[in-house]
Amino acid sequence: MTEQVNGQGNGRSDPIATSEEWGANSVEQFHAEAIRKGLTFDLPLPSGHTVLVTRPPLLEWVMFGVLPETLTKIALESAPLEQRAQALGKTTGNLREMASFIREVVQWAVIRPRIKIGAQGPNEIEPAHVPSGDLFFLLDWVKKGCPGVPVETERGLVSVESLKGFREEHGGETTPGSGDHVS
């Protein structure tokens, strides 16, 4: 007998949702959801090419320990990317962590063309074939909050740029958590 979950069966006797049923657990699913929700942007690159991008789930990676600790610290710092890369040091392990991190960010951010190890399709490219200038531009774009990609709110999609003045418009002149706004 198939179990019912919220009135719908999952085709198994196990009532627990599979990862496929529960959420975007792959780059492809993540990209499909971003396209479905309209959370994409055509980003012109320094090479002259344009790619379809979305905001990668960096916060989730940090929250769930997907990023190595050294990269989590770097991801949260505000230093320019080149300085953060130098701060990692020259050890093989750190360089491998940084290369893996860069590849993950770019693979999750760029929807089209699909960036994929072992790329064989007509709209796929190997991470190693992305020009370094474009790669660092993409990383800097992510660091800046992915301008151009809409943000989901209770009232619908809004631009990141439209949210910049939110704090000032809503009494944000105080330090968050300071209690200065409480009387």
Measured over the CA atoms of residue 106, residue 107, residue 111 and residue 114, the dihedral's sign is: positive
Tokens describing residue 16: 């627990």
Domain boundaries, the chain: 22-168
Read off the pLDDT of residues 11-53 as tens digits, 9 standing for 90 and up.
556 667 665 565 546 888 899 999 999 999 999 999 999 999 9
How much is the pTM?
0.65
Rounded distance between C-alpha atoms, residue 183 and residue 168, angstroms: 19
Strand partners, 8: 5
Rounded distance between C-alpha atoms, residue 38 and residue 151, angstroms: 9
Q: Would you say residue 178 has pLDDT above 70?
A: no
Rounded distance between C-alpha atoms, residue 158 and residue 18, angstroms: 32
Rounded distance between C-alpha atoms, residue 183 and residue 180, angstroms: 8
Rounded distance between C-alpha atoms, residue 154 and residue 147, angstroms: 20
In our burial notation (b when 16+ CB lie closer than 10 A, e otherwise), range 2-21 reads eeeeeeeebeeeeeeeeeee
Least confident of 46-50, 72-76, 179-183: 179-183
